[in-house]
Amino acid sequence: MDLDTLTGCLASSACLVTQTTSGFIIGMLLFLVAVGLTLIFGVLKVVNFSHGAFYMFGAYFAMTAYQLTGSFALAMLCGAAGTALLGLIFERVFMSRVYGRDVLMQVLVCYAFVLIFDDVVRMIWGPEFKSMGMPAAFQIPPLFIAGGVVPPYYLLLIAVALVAAIVLGLGLARTRIGKVIRAAAHNPGMVSALGINTGLIYGGVFALGGMLAGLAGALAAPVRSLTPGMGFSVLIESFIVTVIGGMGSILGALIGALLIGMIRSFGSLGFPLFTEGLMYLFMVIVLVSRPTGLFGKEVA
Amino acid sequence: MTELQAEQASKVLDNSVTQAKPRPNRDALIALAVFVVLALLPMLTSSKFLLDFVIRCAAYGLFATSLNLLVGYTGLTSFGHGMFFGLGAYGFGLMMQKTGVAVPVAFVATLAITFVVALVIGAICVRLKEIYFAFVTLAFQMLIHSTILSWVSLTGGDQGLRGGIPRPPFLGIDLSNHLHLYIVSCALLVIGLFLMHQIAQSPFGYTLRMIRDNATRASFIGIDVWRAKLTIFVLAALFASTGGIIMALFVSGAYPEFAYWTISGEGIFINMLGGVTTFLGPMVGTALFLILNDTVTRVTEYHGIVLGIVILFFAIGLRKGLMDFVIEWYVQRRERSGERAS
């Protein structure tokens, strides 16, 4: 335990800004993964235990695209589009077969794909750590806000995630497609009786969730190292986020992700050996006081 | 009605073929006979490979069967049951390395630690709805795993407990002797299976089945669902921990992989492989899984892909475990011979 460092940091604005930014980075990446998870659960009523693999594929796709084309924008696009396609195929061919079956089957199918995807990545890209490197456009001096160092890439990352959150929130609440998706989540039988292809909606939602996780992976590629199995720790953390925020709630995912980001960022100063433990502790406190999460409704 | 709802309506588990009456004496005799056969095995073969295989079956079998008490009997899909396997291995290994107490003392103490940990985690988890339950248990598994990794001074971090576990002889049993270890593992396996079968066939076991089939109805007739679930969660953890202890004795150490989530995944796969509707399904699954795993690791370095495809084949293709097919075949045959007799 190192409480002096923590209080020292809280007293200095420079350290405060640096830690808050890093908390935002962790939180925003987690949000993108967790919101896909929560969306898929809300509509399809399955928990995608292989969601971390989409994050991993997003990062690897982006790295390869960046190495081939040298364009950062294209790399992001490849990461997101590639995982969206993967999500669509995965849902239509495999997950659609286990809807309504017991959780055991869903867990097993996802477990199988975690094993398969990790090995596929190992086959194509090799088992060693890879790094994409910071794109040239962002190799500019960092900004100084109130004495704290903020790399410009971090600002882009936060902005992209925020835009995704707003588009998603408004899209679900205001557009026709959003209404159809919410209706399908509520009563798929009725929606299909009205002549809407629910299979298409399910596939689309899964692809959207995969795309968001892939986007998170692509955004993380320049700042994190890439390795097969990198998705799993992100998956666990986004589970914790959805448990804290409440399943099926986008706002909950955002708040939960930011809380976890801050806990990780400031916790690593105060409790360097117990940072992970802090997250779990927080989850347990939320679970005991509010079993459905901070923003969750009662799940049927 | 959509395809989705139609499938929900169909009944998933059917226990019509299981014995309704508990018969402890008969079970004890069978257990004893199995133990004698296993104990005589080293006289027939000197193959160390086969004996090692039985020891690993004992470790994994206890773990998988205890998971079936949760998954198959109570309908609690735990995706973090492997944490107790790891806890058993580490608890026992550390106890022997650091304190040097006698083996039975360390054994009991490890179970006591498991009891307390399972009670705390279970109290938090068992009231959650099934999907939450699956991944909150998974989250706790990862908490234990990351604790093992970061508490280097006690657990040796990612290197695991090295330098071997001291196994001083007790009551004339020397566990560093391979044959003695084999016999003790078999004894633990048979006793463990016997006890778990008694639990499954007891009135409490039938309460669990009722909770699985309809928890609301069970609570209406006065069953404390939370307490029953917590009890079986803790009991299953104790048996999983025993499996971990056998594993620690077998490899003479403990490694972080024992507490990693893949162990839980393997446990669920084993249950699927053998079938969750019969008591011995997980045992059959264990043997199949170990054979499969050994073969695949020898043939290819990418064993994840092969295992994954086998899992998919079972989960999406067959939709049942091996023992379910055996039972189905047996029931059909009996019905056919019944028709012929009448």
Domain with A26, as residue range(s), is 3-127+145-289
**A239 close to B (CB below 8 A):** yes
From the list A103, A115, A116, the residue facing B130 with the nearest CB is: A103
**A124 close to B (CB below 8 A):** no
The answer to whether B242 and B27 have CB atoms below 8 angstroms apart is no
For chains A and B, CB pairs below 8 A equal 128
In sequence order, what are the residues at sequence separation of 6 or more whose Cβ sits closer than 8 angstroms to the Cβ of residue A119?
Answer: A228, B302, B303, B304, B305, B308
Residue of B nearest to A127 (CA): B302
Q: Which two tokens stand for residue A72?
A: 């950062």
Cβ-Cβ contacts under 8 Å, A277 against chain B: 143, 146-147
pLDDT of residue B85: 92
CB contact under 8 A, A240 and B139: yes
Element (H, E) at A186: helix A176-186
CA angle (B206, B212, B213) in 5-degree steps: 95
Q: What is the ipTM of this complex?
A: 0.77
CB contact under 8 A, A109 and B316: yes
Distance from CA of B295 to the nearest CA of A (A): 17
Condensed to tens digits (0 to 9), the pLDDT of residues A114-131 reads 888 888 888 888 888 877
Q: What is the rounded average pLDDT of the residues A204-222?
A: 90
pLDDT of residue A54: 92
CB contact under 8 A, A104 and B276: yes
Residue A295 lies inside a defined structural domain of this protein: no
Distance from CA of A211 to the nearest CA of B (A): 22
Q: What is the rounded average pLDDT of the residues B23-33?
A: 78
Residue A224 lies inside a defined structural domain of this protein: yes
The answer to whether A113 and B308 have CB atoms below 8 angstroms apart is yes
From the list A115, A233, A236, the residue facing B307 with the nearest CB is: A115
CB contact under 8 A, B265 and A111: yes
List residues bridging with A130 in a β-sheet: A226
State the pLDDT confidence band at A297, using cuts at 50, 70 and 90. Answer: low
Instruction: Report the SS3 class of residue B186.
Output: helix
Query: What's the one-letter identity of residue A199?
Result: G
User: Cα separation of A31 and A253, whole Å?
Assistant: 6
Residue of B nearest to A45 (CA): B131
From the list B4, B272, B302, the residue facing A99 with the nearest CB is: B4
User: Cα separation of B28 and B32, whole Å?
Assistant: 6
Instruction: Report the SS3 class of residue B173.
Output: strand
State the pLDDT confidence band at B11, using cuts at 50, 70 and 90. Answer: very low
**Number of domains comprising chain A:** 1
Q: Which two tokens stand for residue B236?
A: 């299953």
User: Cα separation of A31 and A256, whole Å?
Assistant: 8
From the list A115, A192, A288, the residue facing B124 with the nearest CB is: A288
Q: Is the pLDDT of residue B251 over 50?
A: yes
User: Cα separation of B135 and B78, whole Å?
Assistant: 8
What is the pTM assigned to this prediction?
A: 0.82
CA B282 to chain centre: 7
Best of A30, A40, A48, A104 to disrupt the B interface (most B CBs within 10 Å) is A104
CATH number for position A23: 1.10.3470
List residues bridging with B274 in a β-sheet: none
Place of tokens 């890879």: A130
In sequence order, what are the residues at sequence separation of 6 or more whose Cβ sits closer than 8 angstroms to the Cβ of residue B161?
Answer: B90, B93, B94, B97, B155, B248, B253, B254, B255
User: Cα separation of A147 and A143, whole Å?
Assistant: 9
Best of A111, A120, A122 to disrupt the B interface (most B CBs within 10 Å) is A111
The answer to whether A291 and A246 have CB atoms below 8 angstroms apart is no
Q: What is the rounded average pLDDT of the residues B274-293?
A: 83
CB contact under 8 A, A101 and B7: yes
List residues bridging with A149 in a β-sheet: A144
| Of A170, A150, A149, residue with least CA distance to A158 | A150
CB contact under 8 A, B1 and A189: yes
CB contact under 8 A, A107 and B142: no
Residue A196 lies inside a defined structural domain of this protein: yes
Instruction: Report the SS3 class of residue A149.
Output: strand
Residue A252 lies inside a defined structural domain of this protein: yes
CA B7 to chain centre: 28
Half-sphere exposure of B312 (CA within 13 A, CB side): 17
Condensed to tens digits (0 to 9), the pLDDT of residues B141-186 reads 888 888 888 777 777 777 777 767 777 777 767 777 777 888 888 8
State the pLDDT confidence band at A299, using cuts at 50, 70 and 90. Answer: very low
